[in-house]
Structure 1
């Protein structure tokens, strides 16, 4: 038996926010941990480290400015923070995006790889929802890409994985988190999906996911965005898993630390 998590999410998200008003409010100052409802998980950091594609022997901070869908707290398109002019209440986001595209074409291979990794990570976190009368805002982030992000690759254990049949959560899942983490691109294209993962149970009783798992979606493809959809669904599931903590023992009294936990998450739009 596996864990089946059903999600009923309000279909108000967008893959890359379509901003009707290009002049967007800016909140200067880097987002702090106290602002973040769901931080970037070790699972997401490890996955993006695996695909970094350049050699890095030290931590490198990357500063970004990202558009935020305020009601859900989800970051969207990110640009180098240096492209946002200082001390302005509002900025022309279209011009900043255009400048970002130009800067990307001339960036070094290392700088491009670091920015891509940081942007992919930041997109998976969720801020505490802000002013519900505001749809979009610009926020600043600093993400450190470092060799310490690396984790061992996934390897299936010889011992059968735990499931909800023999392991229990320390606390119930928060339904609000399910809605917040639903990938924007999936909502935009009305995608229902099922993600199957096997994750390692750490000494803190939390889950580290190194398994790429199996992602099944309906529709199976979104022209031009299928790869992004698959990654976003997998990373959203990693983020959800990072909020899970297990009870220290199975239902028959065995320790769960060091075991693997297998589950299924079903991301489903509401039926009208």
Structure 2
């Protein structure tokens, strides 16, 4: 995917590389990156999630007891009616079992209008803020998404995730998480949904170092390598990167 090209270019330019999983270190070594530049520290996005999770769950949001939460935005899924159509058909069928909440991306909404698709039984809503979405994500029965970030978040939240894409940049969420890659295939989506609903599914994980302390480890590496001055920072004090 296009983002991966940017990542490879950035890898070659960086003085230090911080990874979220051990397989990422192996990938970088195959790219020809000097292993001494690479440091396995965990996932800073999970730092943010764990920091804000309690605040998010305290929000009062009207929602069903059981529901599927959907996000859909990748061009490969929403720009082709022959791909988008079967996904929406699967969601309509799922909505007969449990409510389907669909905070819709503007790009996706535009394509649905252009293609003449109907969303009669889905609970479509405007895009949500981070805390509001995290609230819904935390208590969802299942998440269906083509977002890489949600594959990571659901793994920590313990929520089953069906990835509506042919590949993933986060394979650790499959081997050590709650992610199942079904692609934009109607039958595979419905089969996986049925398995989860009857309990024929076992979560794994959490991945190593996805514990909310990735930022601390990064600071320790920066201190040890002396690439940037960190005078006045106590390395034993939790370091948190704010998203505000």
Indicate whether the TM-score tops 0.5. Answer: no
Larger fraction in helix: 2
> TM-score w.r.t. structure 1 length?
0.22
Larger fraction in strand: 1
Higher RCO by CA contacts (8 Å cutoff, separation 6 or greater): 1
